[in-house]
A = this chain, B = another copy of it.
């Protein structure tokens, strides 16, 4: 079942430059939610590991051992990333394959850039 195209309320995908004019409290909260999802060593490594993996996707069993964390903890971090719209999840049989949502990181980066 290849279910693609997550809804995800298009957080911060807008064009708020952050350094152009004072952002609202709501905009700040939304962007902070996205950044909090990434601002963790384990999740940064997960992003890096998945992106560099074969076919740009990986299952939990591929990530647990090299990350050095419990399977339950890895599953938790992956859920955080999926909820934040960074990762997509595709369950095939017994395995759950995670993949970077195209453009997710880029949209966050764009907000930070002054230009």
How many protomers of this protein does the assembly include? Answer: 2
Q: Which of A4-47 contact B (CB under 8 A)?
A: 18-23, 25, 28-29, 31-32, 35-36, 38-42, 44-45, 47
The reply to whether A48 and B22 contact each other, CB–CB distance below 8 Å, is yes
A114 interface residue, CB < 8 Å from B?
A: yes
Q: Is the CB of A32 within 8 A of B28?
A: no
Range, interface on chain A = 35 or more
- Shortest beta-carbon distance, A7 to chain B, in Å? 19
Main secondary structure of the interface of A (DSSP, over half): helix
Residues from chain B with Cβ under 8 Å of A51 in the complex: 18-20, 114
A61 within 8 A of B: no
The yes or no answer to A106 lying at the interface (CB within 8 A) is yes
Please tell me if the beta carbons of A32 and B23 are within 8 angstroms of each other in the complex. Answer: no
Residue numbers in B under 8 Å from A109 (CB-CB): 108-110, 112-113
Q: Are B114 and A105 in contact (CB under 8 A)?
A: yes
* 5 tightest Cβ-Cβ pairs between the two chains A and B: A35-B39, A19-B51, A109-B109, A109-B112, A28-B41
